[in-house]
Amino acid sequence: MTRVRTKIDEKYCKGCNICVAICPVKVYVEGESLSSRGYTIPVIRRAEECMDAKREPGEKKKCELCVYVCPDQAIGWENE
Ligand code: SF4
Ligand code: SF4
């Protein structure tokens, strides 16, 4: 069961798509519509494939590549 998932904060994302390129299991896809700030925000399409999605809250993370590479610190975690 998925207990946590990544989220993209549209307030900070500038649509560079680095997260789309770097995720090894293709959780993100390029977006198609503009955010309120005029950026095309990626869409989380396969949240259940995320290597960190199945961990228990508090368990050590396995990947988090997207969180580290986002230049605008727009990616974080939320509980489902
Ligand atoms: S890497 Fe960050 S700023 Fe770039 S598209 Fe992904 S969430 Fe947005
Ligand atoms: S933590 Fe890793 S597997 Fe999960 S969405 Fe980010 S890059 Fe993909």
**CATH class label, 4-79:** alpha beta
Distance 63 CA to ligand 2 centre (A): 6
> pLDDT band at residue 56, thresholds of 50, 70 and 90?
confident
Ligand nearest to the CA of 69: 1
Provide the CA 9 distance to its chain's centre, in angstroms. 9
Question: What are the sequence ranges of the domains in the chain?
Answer: 4-79
CB 76 within 8 A of CB 13: no
From CA 76, how far away is CA 6, in angstroms rounded?
6
From CA 74, how far away is CA 78, in angstroms rounded?
13
Distance 28 CA to ligand 1 centre (A): 10
pLDDT higher for 25 or 5? 25
pTM listed for this prediction: 0.90
The residue to mutate among 16, 37, 43, having the most atoms of ligand 1 within 8 angstroms of its beta carbon, is 16
pLDDT tens for each residue of 24-45: 999 999 999 999 999 999 999 9
> pLDDT band at residue 2, thresholds of 50, 70 and 90?
low
Ligand nearest to the CA of 75: 1
